[in-house]
């Protein structure tokens, strides 16, 4: 039986880790690959702002879920304290006394291997499988491997993979700049965005892909228009343009869902409804969309509120709430009587534009025999009172 041991911080696990694991399993014909996130790295402190060990373990499970014969183990996390490889190798050897063990590592670890705790004991129990972390490292690997073989009788195997310029350190720095997505498995990136781990902000291309997949295809043009208009309005009135873009992209993600599904989502996200809302699905998509934006895409309370109130409005709306409400109303694909005047007002006097928008919405509903929601009526009264001062 041949078993690979792949340890590390996996903070976060990236496609370089996954590709190296997959190729090692294939080239060494491993029967099992143990992927073991450490509790606390022995050679350095975890980076500030890192998620806890349990979260890193879950990210690692997501990353390696499609790697043949890989099993993510929590043995080091359960053991706690500093995670020394020699202790882990001994544990695996005790469990599999007859197995051929391979210890996976990158070039950087190989170069400092003689500094590891009880490295000779590790070499007596395992062979080393080394993969390049960046282009041009092959020579370094071969020189270091030869030195270990000559000095200690080590067995070192170079695992050739397509090098990927990826490091967890670099990815952590990029995530807060809406970058780094292409270096992470999608399941890992999704979990990072959901928890806003590492201060991550979603890549807008990725966010659009996720949002558009949830829409009726006929609604995509409207959502794209709303995003564009929201950014323009945010720039005009001094709102956060990135938050406006997030809200614009996500504001209609549950629009196509029927009443039963809307009610299920309201229950899931703890959204309290009034009697009218319980029977009118069109009033719920803003609330359920806000729930998904917050709990599945990690949006903050300001973006949540902007999506939540973009259908009915409310009294005393915040700036981003006003921006999204109006962007939804006047985006470039809208074509109805009065829209050009509404667009003009939106860039001259936002409150007057809201007043006009509320009136138009109420008049339209009443003309179709629909009772306007009390919050829309309250929003109109509030904004009218403010404009009279």
The percentage of the chain sitting over the pLDDT mark of 70, rounded to a whole number, equals 97
Instruction: Say if residue 356's pLDDT is above 70.
Output: yes
**Whole-prediction pTM:** 0.93
- pLDDT tens, 326-346? 999 999 999 999 999 999 999
Instruction: Identify the weakest region by mean pLDDT among 120-129, 144-153, 206-215, 380-389.
Output: 380-389
The whole-number pLDDT of residue 133 equals 62
The whole-number pLDDT of residue 63 equals 98
- pLDDT tens, 48-94? 889 999 999 999 999 999 999 999 999 999 998 888 999 999 999 99
Average pLDDT over residues 306-329: 97
Instruction: Say if residue 239's pLDDT is above 90.
Output: yes
Instruction: Say if residue 387's pLDDT is above 70.
Output: no
Domains in the chain, CATH or no CATH each = 2-164 (3.40.50.620), 204-387 (1.10.3210.10)
- pLDDT tens, 167-196? 899 999 999 999 999 999 999 999 999 999
The whole-number pLDDT of residue 69 equals 96
pLDDT tier at 158, thresholds 50, 70, 90: confident
The whole-number pLDDT of residue 44 equals 75
Instruction: Say if residue 135's pLDDT is above 70.
Output: no
Instruction: Say if residue 312's pLDDT is above 80.
Output: yes
The whole-number pLDDT of residue 251 equals 98
Q: Is 169 exposed, middle or buried (0-12, 13-18, 19+ CB in 10 A)?
A: exposed
- pLDDT tens, 26-37? 999 999 999 999
């Amino acid at each position: 039986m041949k078993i690979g041991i792949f340890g590390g911080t996996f903070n976060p696990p990236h496609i370089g880790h996954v590709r190296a694991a997959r190729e090692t399993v294939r080239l060494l014909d491993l029967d099992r690959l143990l992927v073991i996130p450490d509790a606390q790295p022995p050679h350095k402190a975890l980076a500030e702002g890192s998620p806890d060990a349990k979260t890193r373990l879950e990210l690692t499970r997501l990353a390696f879920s499609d790697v043949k014969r890989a099993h993510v183990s929590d043995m080091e996390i359960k053991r706690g304290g500093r995670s020394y490889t020699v202790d882990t190798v001994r544990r695996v050897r005790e469990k599999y006394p007859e197995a051929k063990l391979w210890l996976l590592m990158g070039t950087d670890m190989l170069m400092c291997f003689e500094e590891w705790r009880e490295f000779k004991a590790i070499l007596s129990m395992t062979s080393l499988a080394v993969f390049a972390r960046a282009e041009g490292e092959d020579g370094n690997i071969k020189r270091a491997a030869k030195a270990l073989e000559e000095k200690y009788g080590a067995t070192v195997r170079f695992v050739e993979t397509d090098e990927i310029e990826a490091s967890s350190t670099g990815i952590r720095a990029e995530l807060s700049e809406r970058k780094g997505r292409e270096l992470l498995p999608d399941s890992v990136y999704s979990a990072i965005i959901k928890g806003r781990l590492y201060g991550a902000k979603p890549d807008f291309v990725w966010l659009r892909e996720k949002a558009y997949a949830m829409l009726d295809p006929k609604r995509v043009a409207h959502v794209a228009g709303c995003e564009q208009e929201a950014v323009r309005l945010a720039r005009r009135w001094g709102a956060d343009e990135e938050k406006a873009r997030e809200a614009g992209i996500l504001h209609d993600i549950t629009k196509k869902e029927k009443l039963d599904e809307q009610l299920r989502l309201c229950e899931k996200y703890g959204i309290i409804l009034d009697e009218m809302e319980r029977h009118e699905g069109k009033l719920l998509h803003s609330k359920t969309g806000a729930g998904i934006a917050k709990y599945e895409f990690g949006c903050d309370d300001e973006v949540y509120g902007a999506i939540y109130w973009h259908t009915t409005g409310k009294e005393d709306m915040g700036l981003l709430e006003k921006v999204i409400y109006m962007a939804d109303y006047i985006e470039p694909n809208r074509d109805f009587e009065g829209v050009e005047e509404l667009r003009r007002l939106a860039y001259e006097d936002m409150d007057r534009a809201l007043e006009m928008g509320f009136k138009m919405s109420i008049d339209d509903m009443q003309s179709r025999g629909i009772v306007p929601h009390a919050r829309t009526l309250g929003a109109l009264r509030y904004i009218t009172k403010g404009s009279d001062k």
